[in-house]
Amino acid sequence: MNSKFLKIVLLAAVSDGEIQTEELEMLSQIKKSHPELKKISAEDSQIALADIYNKLSAGMETKHILEQLADSFTQMEKNAAFALAKEVCAADFRVMPAEKDFLELLVTVWGIPEDVVSAVDTSISLRYRIY
């Protein structure tokens, strides 16, 4: 099973160097409800987690991980992955500077259109009161 969306939400969760309780809960909720993520077996989830962990532990830059993953997504899927990543980053009702940097990198590397960024930002702002 393709775990590309899971890898993006994992990168979002670890982007500030710490996974908050709320982020773990959001990851669990997304994994249970998202059409692509709920198809992933526990074993494939562990493989995806290990892949991200190993790349980051080896010192691979997030930019290069995103570049590697980019070809496996259509533009619509990239837009959706950006929205999921932002949701995970906002789960604790704040977006830390390192999380903002990750999201900006995602927008730049994947060419997320400004109208998508604006729509996601508005939605997050309304639901999480993050301005």
Q: CATH number for the domain including 36?
A: 1.10.3680
Residue 61 CA: distances (Å) to CA of 24, 83, 128: 23, 21, 29
Which range of residues forms the domain containing residue 16? Answer: 4-128
Looking at the structure of the chain, the number of domains it has is 1
Dump pLDDT digits (tens) for 109-123: 999 999 999 999 999
pLDDT, mean of residues 83-93: 95
Can you give the three-state secondary structure of 41-103, one letter per residue?
CHHHHHHHHHHHHHHHHCCCCHHHHHHHHHCCCCHHHHHHHHHHHHHHHHCCCCCCHHHHHHH
At residue 55, the pLDDT reads 96
